[in-house]
Amino acid sequence: MTTTIALAGKGGVGKTTVAGMVIKYLAQNQPGSILAIDADPSSNLNMVLGLDLEWTVGDIREDMLQKVKASLTEGGAAMGVMPGGTSKREYLEYHVRSSLAEGSRFDLIAMGRGEGQGCYCAVNHNLREVIDSMSRHYAYVVIDNEAGMEHLSRRTTRNVQHLLIVSDPTQRGLVAAQRIADMRKELDIRVENAYLILNRLPGEMPAELKAFTEKIDVPLLGTIPADSDLSAFEFSGKPLVDLGDDSPVYQSVAGMMKKIL
């Protein structure tokens, strides 16, 4: 059985860093392979994981649609077949698998750029099926979402066992976290468990901040301290998964993972 962990939160709160620490913990402490899905159009989870990224799913989707438009006059794509006799589903599956960035314990798919003009319903349906089919071969799937949750059900039809809503210790971040907590009930997929993670906390949690977190419709899983050493490590060019196990950031995330897994 595949366990799916999704991360969401306002832009800039450190979701991708937390996703990297989750993947680091899984790789070191849980059996089975891990698939990371970077659903943020900025696509920088590969840098956190130390993987090269050549193609994104967005690139593949746009390339396929261009081929469809070019071959409409020939009748091939209109019949559901790409040039050369390949079906659209086969075309997508081949290229998505080819775009996979492979590591020793974890692989990465990046969703990449958003949709342009035109109808994407059919291609997105095929993409969901392709990615879900690939996901079944992994013990864990970790999805780093863009700022909201609106597109999660367009990335996968899989249930999400653990939704980690990340916020920084600001009112704007926590208001966004509340909106995401409410939005999870409207998705086409089932979210089994949802938690709040407070990132970059400078010292003890003030009483006002604690009171605010208690109003949010998800339990506080834990806090991650602000860490200047983390920024220095990032500027070194090393992937964050190489961060030492004694890092306060990693220790905090590892403690949270032990609670829920």
- Examine residue 142 and state whether it is found in any structural domain, yes or no: yes
- Examine residue 95 and state whether it is found in any structural domain, yes or no: yes
Distances (CA, A) of 186 to 7, 40, 153, 205: 17, 20, 10, 31
Strand 220-225, strand 101-102: pairing = unpaired
3-state secondary structure the chain: CCEEEEEECCCCCCHHHHHHHHHHHHHHHCCCCEEEEECCCCCCHHHHHCCCCCCCHHHHHHHHHHHHHHHHHHCCHHHCECCCCCEHHHHHHHHHHHCCEECCCEEEEECCCCCCCCCCHHHHHHHHHHHHHHHCCCCEEEEECCCCCCCHHHHCCCCEEEEEEEECCCHHHHHHHHHHHHHHHHCCCCEEEEEEEEEEECCCCCHHHHHHHHHCCCCEEEEEECCHHHHHHHHCCCCHHHCCCCCHHHHHHHHHHHHHC
Token pair 């974890």 is at which residue?
106
Report the pLDDT value the prediction gives residue 42, as an integer from 0 to 100.
74
- Examine residue 234 and state whether it is found in any structural domain, yes or no: no
Distance (Å, rounded) from C-alpha 150 to C-alpha 60?
21
Report the pLDDT value the prediction gives residue 72, as an integer from 0 to 100.
64
Are 163 and 193 a contacting pair, CB within 8 Å? yes
Strand 191-201, strand 160-167: pairing = parallel
> Mean pLDDT for each 10-residue chunk of the chain (261 residues)?
93 94 98 93 88 88 78 56 74 90 94 62 77 92 82 69 96 93 85 96 94 94 95 88 96 98 95
Distance (Å, rounded) from C-alpha 2 to C-alpha 88?
26
Q: What is the CATH number of the domain that holds 152?
A: 3.40.50.300
Nearest to 194 by CA among 168, 169, 159: 159
Instruction: Supply the range of the domain harboring residue 155.
Output: 3-229
- Examine residue 15 and state whether it is found in any structural domain, yes or no: yes
| Total structural domains within the chain | 1
Identity at 206, one-letter amino acid code:
P
- Examine residue 22 and state whether it is found in any structural domain, yes or no: yes
Distance (Å, rounded) from C-alpha 162 to C-alpha 107?
20
Q: What's the pTM value of the predicted model, to 2 decimals?
A: 0.90
CA 226 to chain CA mean position, Å: 22
Report the pLDDT value the prediction gives residue 117, as an integer from 0 to 100.
53
- Examine residue 24 and state whether it is found in any structural domain, yes or no: yes
b/e string for 105-130 if b means 16 or more Cβ within 10 A?
ebbbbbbbeeeeeeebeebeebbbeb
- Examine residue 245 and state whether it is found in any structural domain, yes or no: no
- Examine residue 35 and state whether it is found in any structural domain, yes or no: yes
Report the pLDDT value the prediction gives residue 55, as an integer from 0 to 100.
86
